[in-house]
């Protein structure tokens, strides 16, 4: 197999969810020769996930992406142990199926903090190392909800947080291109994971499926494969881009 991330150190946030996009990405990156750093809220869950992938070239580091000190400490721990940070996948995210008038201040903070503030803090934590190395790749997990204004599962605050990520991603790509650091985003459609917390009803599923030309929901592997492309040198001239992974649900 062509190892696309051989000897690269790749940090993936929100990677401990057993059926999540982050874990599938860590597994794929590991298969491609990377040392993967599993980060998520709870250290024991990070360790379990890491152990389920391999006993070599894996590291588990608890990190709450909404807490700047936690992000800085995680990046330092990785650099001190592994001596480099090549890839950051900003994958942590939560969603809530609310309507505009239902969103409380707490709801707003919860959802925007994990996706948007978390992306900023984790990127700020790794960028100084990438600048020093004069190389790096950051990929941010936005959503089709950012592009079409929700209407799938997450509420308007989720759309806003994800749309904010697209703007932040492009602005950072502009700023750090001169250091050979590429920064891109992905916009997944509906991917079958636990993020919906059992609140996606059969009716909702049926209605959504009818809008997808490829006639299936997305799988975590679909997103992991796109992360692999953007993280690796295959995407050497791609920065500030946002790639859709939505089965054709949204075209423009
Ligand atoms: P998931 O719930 O399986 O995984 C998300 C992970 O983020 C969890 O392990 C959770 O513990 C972690 N997390 C939450 N708050 C955190 C914090 N403060 N710090 C660190 N980690 C935190 O969900 P998933 O479907 O794999 O989602 C991954 C990403 O993809 C999210 O950003 C989500 O918004 C995005 N996305 C998902 C879909 C979908 O349909 N599943 C669609 C578009 C975008």
DSSP code, position 168:
H
Sequence-ordered strand ranges (E) for the chain: 9-12, 35-40, 58-62, 87-90, 136-141, 181-188, 242-245
From the candidate CATH numbers 2.40.430.10, 3.40.50.300, 3.40.50.740, 3.40.50.720, the one assigned to the domain spanning 9-243 = 3.40.50.720
Task: Count CA within 13 A, CB hemisphere, residue 37.
Answer: 28
pLDDT score recorded for residue 2: 87
Q: What ranges do the domains of the chain cover?
A: 9-243
Q: Cα(168)–Cα(164) distance, rounded to whole angstroms?
A: 6
Name residue, tokens 């990785």. Answer: 78
Q: Is the CB of 89 under 6 A from ligand 1?
A: no
Q: Identify the pLDDT of residue 199.
A: 86
Please list the ranges in the chain whose pLDDT falls under 70: none
Query: Ligand 1: which of 11, 94, 121, 144 to mutate, judged by most atoms within 8 Å of the beta carbon?
Result: 94
CA-nearest residue, atom 39 of ligand 1? 191
Instruction: Give the residue numbers annotated as catalytic, written as ranges.
Output: 158
Specify the 3-state DSSP secondary structure of 188. strand
Give distance in angstroms: CA of 197 to centre of ligand 1: 11
E strand or H helix at 243: strand 242-245
| Residues 244/250, Cβ–Cβ less than 8 Å | yes
Please identify which residue in the block is written with the tokens 């492309």.
229
Q: How far is the CA of 63 from the centre of ligand 1 (A)?
A: 14
User: What pLDDT sits at residue 194?
Assistant: 94
The number of beta carbons lying within 10 Å of the beta carbon of residue 110 is 17
In this predicted model, what pLDDT tens digit does every residue of 155-211 receive, in sequence order?
A: 999 999 999 999 999 999 999 999 999 999 999 999 999 998 888 889 989 999 999
């Amino acid at each position: 197999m062509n190892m696309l991330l051989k000897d690269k150190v790749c940090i993936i946030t929100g990677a401990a969810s057993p059926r999540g996009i982050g874990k599938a990405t860590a597994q794929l990156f590991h298969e491609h020769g990377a040392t993967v750093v599993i980060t998520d809220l709870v250290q024991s869950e990070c360790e379990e996930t890491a152990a389920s992938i391999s006993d070599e070239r894996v590291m588990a580091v608890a990190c709450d992406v909404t807490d700047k000190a936690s992000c800085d400490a995680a990046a330092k721990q990785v650099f001190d142990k592994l001596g480099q940070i090549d890839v950051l996948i900003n994958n942590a995210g939560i969603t809530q199926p609310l309507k505009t008038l239902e969103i409380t201040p707490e709801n707003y903070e919860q959802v925007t903090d994990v996706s948007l503030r978390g992306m900023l803090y984790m990127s700020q934590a790794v960028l100084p190392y990438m600048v020093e190395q004069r190389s790096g790749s950051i990929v941010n997990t936005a959503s089709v909800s950012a592009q079409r204004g929700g209407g799938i599962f997450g509420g308007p605050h989720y759309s806003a947080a994800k749309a904010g990520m697209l703007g932040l991603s492009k602005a950072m790509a502009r700023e750090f291109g001169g250091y050979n650091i590429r920064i891109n985003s992905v916009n997944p459609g509906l991917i079958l994971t636990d993020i919906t917390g059992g609140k996606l009803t059969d009716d909702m599923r049926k209605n959504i499926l009818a809008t997808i030309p490829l006639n299936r929901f997305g799988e975590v592997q679909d997103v992991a494969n796109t992360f692999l492309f953007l993280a690796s040198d295959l995407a050497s001239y791609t920065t500030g881009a946002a790639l859709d992974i939505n089965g054709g649900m949204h075209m423009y």
